[in-house]
Amino acid sequence: MSVTTAFEKARADERAVLVGYLPAGFPTVEGGIEAMRAIVDAGCDVIEVGLPYSDPVMDGPTIQAAAQRALGGGVRTRDVLRTVEAVAATGTPTVVMTYWNPIEKYGVARFAADLADAGGSGLITPDLTPDSGAEWIAAADSLDLDKIFLVAPSSTDERIAMTTAACRGFVYATAVMGVTGARATSSDLAGPLVARTKAVTDIPVAVGLGVSTGDQAAEVASYADGVIVGSAFVRCLLDHDDLTSGLGALASLADDLAQGVRRA
């Protein structure tokens, strides 16, 4: 199933999509695959597989800690692709979220081809903008891969229009200024950003702003097409020394979040 199909199915059910993020290789490659399958089983509609990076300037301490553990365990880009293949085999749309440097080093066309071969749906590229991404856009278009770029509260209306015109799959609205991380309250910048984005595109808009509870998910789902959860899932695994209890905590959180997007 494609990302677009997941959003269409959710829209038919009059609810938002729940997008779950976890980094590949955390706590191990196989453990990460188990974790992603657990949140799929508990209600995540789309999975973001993070490509661990040594200089994650846009990530908060939670995701940085997980990425460092994955890198310390020897995770490589081929392990990320193996993770994508295992998760996509569940029938769940699976995208990779990555800084651009690892893709450039791997080879843009080569990575796009290997991602497509693994059953991946596309890429989220937080530090690549459409006006700097001609090589990726061409590679993605040739393989019908989704191109998911970011908009932010600081984006001008012109910038939002340019960015959304290049997107396929969904638009990632990062509605908190600063690094990623779970937060106790949702941002009052999110609603206006979604409204500005929807004014110039029919592509679904999914919001990432540190959601960590079902109630927060319901609030965001009341105005966005998708709710993105990352740090809260990662924290479940960081807080549990053994994988079994971590998987249980993950499943419980995913279920609460899935109920939230349906409640909205």
CA angle 185, 181, 86 (to 5 degrees): 120
The C-alpha atoms of residue 151 and residue 75 are separated, in whole angstroms, by: 29
Q: Which two tokens stand for residue 168?
A: 């396929």
Helix (H) or strand (E) holding 205: strand 205-208
In the three-class reduction of DSSP (H, G, I as helix; E, B as strand; rest coil), residue 241 is classed as coil
Beta bridge partners of 96: 49, 123
Other CB atoms within a 10 A radius of the CB of residue 60 amount to 19
Burial (0-12, 13-18, 19+ Cβ within 10 Å), 204: buried
**Active-site annotation holder among 14, 34, 48, 85:** 48
H-helix or E-strand spanning residue 18? strand 17-23
Cβ pair 22, 50 in contact under 8 A: yes
Cβ-count burial of 62 within 10 angstroms (0-12 exposed, 13-18 middle, 19+ buried)? buried
From residue 62, alpha-carbon distances to 109, 135, 176, 236 in Å are 31, 31, 16, 10
Q: Nearest Cα to 175, choosing from 190, 196, 192? A: 190
Place of tokens 């609810």: 15
Q: Is 146 a catalytic residue?
A: no
**Selected catalytic residue, list 45, 59, 146, 225:** 59
| 114 catalytically annotated | no
Which residues participate in catalysis according to the annotation? 48, 59
